[in-house]
Amino acid sequence: MTSQAESRARFGVPADAMVFARSVRKSFGSLDVLKGIDLTVPKGSVACIIGPSGSGKSTFLRCINHLEQLTGGVLLVDGEFVGYDLRDGKLYEVKDSLLCKRRADIGMVFQSFNLFSHMTVMENLIEAPMRVRGVSVAEAKASAEVLLARVGLSEKANRYPRELSGGQQQRVAIARALAMNPKVLLFDEPTSALDPELVGEVLQVMRDLAESGMTMVVVTHEIGFAREVGDDLIFMDEGVIVERGEPREVIANPQSARTREFLSRVL
Amino acid sequence: MSLVEPKKTTGLPLDLPVEELIVVPRRRYGIWIGIAIAMLFAFFIGKAFATNPAFDWATAANYLFHPSIMRGLGKTLLLTVVIMAAAIVIGTIVAIMRVSPSAVLQTFASAYVWFFRGVPALIQLIFWFNLSLLFRTVSLSIPGVGTIFSVNTNDFMTPFVSAVVALSLCEAGYLAEIIRAGIKSVPHGQFEAASGLGMSYRQILRRIILPQAMRFIVPPTGNEAISLLKMTSLVTFIAVDDLFYTAQSIYARTFETIPLLIVVAFWYLFVVTVMSIGQHFLERYYGRSDRRQENPLIRLLQSLLGSRKGRVQS
């Protein structure tokens, strides 16, 4: 039995679950950041996570692609542990090459863009496809051009990141993540570092992505985006999921007092 | 722009446009005094150089391209290149050990830097030269197979080899610190973004971290190369026939001490100048992603004379 099949059977993972989390815990030293997160993100859906800073939402996101290791619980992406293999009821830490291969399928977009500053936009986009996937230069460039057109930045291919505005940099970062053809895209507060007038262009690109059927987990403060684009709205506070549901429903009619208080402050 | 307050006595009209006010530059008496003293010193130094017969410029000129001086210069350059190359390799390895997750490797690397940076280069040099006092022979033997090879320490620890070993180990201690600082200067987000894309630790180091660290590594490494060039004159102590040793052996015979020291100083200065030009272009290459448009000649002159403003970018 493959690790994937064993995991699916053992934890009862629904066939359409892209991200599957059960009692996910994470602590840094004595600080418990995540205290048991249960969440299923179906394929093709958009989950938006909101909550005050320090609520653990970014940490949860970073656990999904194994940038942070779990302290406890189960977190599967497409029915598989990212950093482990399940064989005969034991979790084996996978070797680096396999971890890299799995991470390559999980795109991530950061708050601070993190474009490679010594590379042009084009080089940023073709680096990982060439080095990790072994794609040829010509092929990588061709698909990079398609992606740049998609985020509306074709004419910036030979610019360096610092020559671009924040909004443009973030659109390049999204294109860079897409260049790996990920199964799921994680967004860690993608618009929080942007000037207000640049937020719209990034959200537009994300909206288009959601419409194209990409599975997305978005940590955000943009309640409007969550309401419009999200299939699921998750409100986290102090390391637990306080409330979740259909975004319009949660925003219009929050059940918990903490959700109400948070929404009243950000809306 | 500095505005001059209207003097009360003249009674300037209040509606006078600002552009029509006269700006009187501040008088910088201190600078004028400084200039006068500097000119005076320059005059006396120039006069001494020109009139003191002991400088004996003619003799210096005669020795400038003397075959043994040229051979010595060649040896000095060879030493610098070989030692620098070895030190960069060792230094990079030590630096990567120092940023590795393993506490053992980190401690080992720290101890290396602590020792080789802490002991004076001359002492290390003489120590390696006298290695045979510690180990008579160096041999490799495998139990059950026998001795693979065995050589007398003195046979391979020639002055040249001891110079290379001693100075590259010493220089690597300095370079390791420079390279480590360079690696640390790259924001952690770059590492995370690359990991998120599925790049391996090696790929991230080679393709993402080190190229960006180079911007911070190249300028101090250039300075290290320059000071290494001069440091190689220490090998005179263990009788390696470098530039300085050759000049010494000539003036020990002919007593033309000052002219030969001038020759040596000339060649060191010459090589340092050439190296500075190379360093300038290397810096330009690694800073290409954030270059500002400036006159290339002015930039070259600035970096040669050591006045570099605003070189460190955010």
User: Mean pLDDT over residues B113-136, rounded?
Assistant: 90
A117/B212 CB distance under 8 A? yes
CA separation for the pair B148, B141 (Å, rounded) = 5
| Proportion of chain B above pLDDT 90, given as a percent | 58
User: Mean pLDDT over residues B254-282, rounded?
Assistant: 92
- Chain B nearest-CA distance from A217, in A, is 15
Long-range contacts of B58-65 (CB under 8 A, 24+ apart): B59/B256, B59/B259, B60/B259, B60/B260, B60/B262, B60/B263, B60/B266, B63/B250, B63/B256, B63/B259, B63/B260, B63/B263, B64/B263, B64/B266
Q: Pinpoint the alpha helices (H) of A134-229.
A: 137-150, 166-178, 196-211, 223-229
Confidence class of residue B291 from pLDDT cuts 50, 70 and 90?
low
- Chain B nearest-CA distance from A1, in A, is 26
- Cβ-contact A195, A119 below 8 angstroms: no
Of A107, A114, A127, the CB nearest to B192: A114
* Both structure tokens of B51: 């009139």
| B195 neighbourhood in chain A, CB within 8 Å | 67, 103
When scoring B197, B201, B215 by the number of chain A Cβ atoms within 10 A, the one with the most, hence best to mutate, is: B197
Of B193, B200, B208, the CB nearest to A97: B200
pTM here is 0.78
User: Mean pLDDT over residues B74-81, rounded?
Assistant: 95
DSSP-based three-state secondary structure for A183: coil
A103/B200 CB distance under 8 A? no
Q: Enumerate residues 274 to 313 of chain B having a beta carbon within 8 A of any beta carbon in chain A.
A: 289-290
Of B201, B203, B289, the CB nearest to A117: B289
Looking at per-residue confidence, does B298 or A81 come out higher?
A: A81
Which amino acid, one-letter code, is at A258? Answer: R
Query: Which residue on chain B is closest to A65 by alpha carbon?
Result: B196
Q: Counting Cβ atoms within 10 Å, is residue A133 exposed (0-12), middle (13-18) or buried (19+)?
A: middle
CA-to-CA dists, residue A214 to A43, A44, A100, angstroms: 8, 5, 21
- The confidence score (pLDDT) of residue B40 equals 96
pLDDT in tens, A65-82: 999 999 999 999 999 899
For chain B, list the domains and their CATH numbers.
Answer: 58-288 (1.10.3720.10)
Confidence class of residue A237 from pLDDT cuts 50, 70 and 90?
very high
- Chain A nearest-CA distance from B187, in A, is 9
pLDDT in tens, A154-189: 999 999 999 999 999 999 999 999 999 999 999 999
Query: Which residues of chain A have a Cβ shorter than 8 Å from any chain B Cβ?
Result: 65, 67, 96-97, 100-108, 110, 112, 114-119, 127-128, 131-132, 160-162, 173, 176-177, 180
Query: Which residue on chain A is closest to B211 by alpha carbon?
Result: A118
Mean pLDDT for all residues in chain B: 86
Q: Enumerate residues 168 to 187 of chain B having a beta carbon within 8 A of any beta carbon in chain A.
A: 187
